[in-house]
Structure 1
């Protein structure tokens, strides 16, 4: 295998059959040793986070397929912490798409003058550029179109799929009495130009609360699918 990308939370390898292999790590994003799914730096390493992330990702990608939502997922090997995916190209140098059901994190840092912590939001979709130097700035649909990153028609698809996926995840968490505050997703184009979900859906990509208390990524995986 040829390693083609070294990321914060996973490495990417090219396979001989044209597919790619994602190797999940125990590193998670955050700042000053505190986990934050919206952060653009590795904040800490949690033993077992890679395997837990892959287990939950596999579960939710399969749920997406059941709902007819296209993803890059082919299969996974939980013990090896690897996932096989189809090739996909990202938009520009990459976008992160956040769906928010409650106000917290960077939403409060930006809009705290008008919002209250934990305030209910109506599946609010926010797109940010993957740009560490500029701290992943938010970008509008108009700007994405004008800069040639994403057309307005593609943005409409991106927003719809983001809300569909987030609602699938939220429904699963609701069954366990878990409150999903927000979730971060990534998308790309497959070889036919179709917009598909890529990357992962794990505890490291979302904020969830149970009885008012934040649920750590490993605990979230255990509550949904077990460790």
Structure 2
């Protein structure tokens, strides 16, 4: 098996603190800089799996970097540099405590809620008579409160977000506008690659000077669901499952092995063979989403490589 990076404990010059999320580890540096390491950890149903997936961190970081560059004319973002395949450096922000989830199609969580008979999701009505993977008449925004590591994100309505003062109404209007613009651009990029951007989530923060910017990842297979456009209509008409590009295949594997992150459930064993297939799927995702061939980074000593590249960048400032 290829080496993976599942935990870091760097001590960079000017380092103030470290925060460990489900997949990313964020180092706060002086001069209002944040350094984000995308690890190879895999999270599903808000549970971090026991083994890392080779190249997953590199894939997520490089897709997010490319998509940030492809949308920076629409929405300002936090990114300043990517000195290593697994590392992004950007402006320190105060994150909003909500994830802006937007859905163009009734899939995943929305479909599970719909099947359970619910027609309101995060205060938004879903039309009667829909079937799984149908397009909504127009994309719906279904926010979620951002969980700490190990906790479940929870659905929340726009009204509750404002009433509980999680986000001010003025800021929420900006988040909503940015979310719709990003989803439109993401859908256009996906269409140019023969894909459909089904749903995704965006996270935003506020810089020290009060600017609202896009942070974290964007349009990656961890934050988004994609369908192949070719054959979509035929599969819907025949009532067949859609061919998709996302980590939904991992969720489905876990469900088939009796795991949905519920109390008392145990994560099934992920063999080396299965992990290799997951890695291969992530590489396929990268190449389809970006249109570029994936170049595997040197994994002989990932920690050492990251430290060397980051120090070289910081010393150049």
Quick check: TM above 0.5?
yes
The reply to whether residue 195 of structure 1 matches residue 212 of structure 2 is yes
Other structure's SS at 1:204 match: coil
Q: In the TM superposition, what are the counterparts of 1:134-153 in structure 2 within 5 Å? A: 135-153=152-170
Structure 1 residue 164 displacement after superposition = 0.8
Q: Tell me the alpha carbon deviations over residues 108-143 of structure 1, each in whole angstroms, 9 at most, x when there is no partner.
A: 122233442101022211111123687322112221
TM-score of the aligned structures, taking structure 1 as reference length: 0.87
CA distance in 1, matches of 2:186, 2:46: 23
Other structure's SS at 2:171 match: helix
The reply to whether residue 7 of structure 1 matches residue 16 of structure 2 is no
Please point out which of 12, 24, 28 is paired with 2:42: 28
Structure 1 residue 77 displacement after superposition = 2.6
The reply to whether residue 156 of structure 1 matches residue 180 of structure 2 is no
Aligned length: 215
Question: Would you say the 8 A contact 1:100–1:182 is kept in 2?
Answer: yes
CA distance in 2, matches of 1:170, 1:77: 28
- In structure 1, list runs of 5 or more residues that go unmatched: 31-38
Structure 1 residue 220 displacement after superposition = 2.0
CA distance in 2, matches of 1:26, 1:206: 17
Question: Would you say the 8 A contact 2:74–2:181 is kept in 1?
Answer: no
Question: Would you say the 8 A contact 1:22–1:84 is kept in 2?
Answer: yes
Structure 1 residue 84 displacement after superposition = 0.4
Other structure's SS at 1:45 match: coil
Q: Tell me the alpha carbon deviations over residues 70-101 of structure 1, each in whole angstroms, 9 at most, x when there is no partner.
A: 1111111343x10001011022xx21111111
Structure 1 residue 10 displacement after superposition = 0.9
Other structure's SS at 1:148 match: coil
Please point out which of 59, 68, 71 is paired with 1:64: 71
Structure 1 residue 4 displacement after superposition = 1.6
CA distance in 2, matches of 1:8, 1:203: 15
Aligned to 1:105: 108
Structure 1 residue 184 displacement after superposition = 1.4
The reply to whether residue 48 of structure 1 matches residue 79 of structure 2 is no
CA distance in 1, matches of 2:67, 2:185: 8
Other structure's SS at 1:160 match: helix
Aligned to 1:95: 98
Structure 1 residue 204 displacement after superposition = 1.3
TM-score of the aligned structures, taking structure 2 as reference length: 0.64
Q: In the TM superposition, what are the counterparts of 1:168-187 in structure 2 within 5 Å? A: 168-187=185-204
Please point out which of 137, 144, 150 is paired with 1:128: 144
- In structure 2, list runs of 5 or more residues that go unmatched: 1-11, 118-127, 231-241, 246-280, 295-317
The reply to whether residue 213 of structure 1 matches residue 213 of structure 2 is no
Deviates more, 1:155-164 or 1:109-118: 109-118
Structure 1 residue 45 displacement after superposition = 3.1
Higher strand share: 1
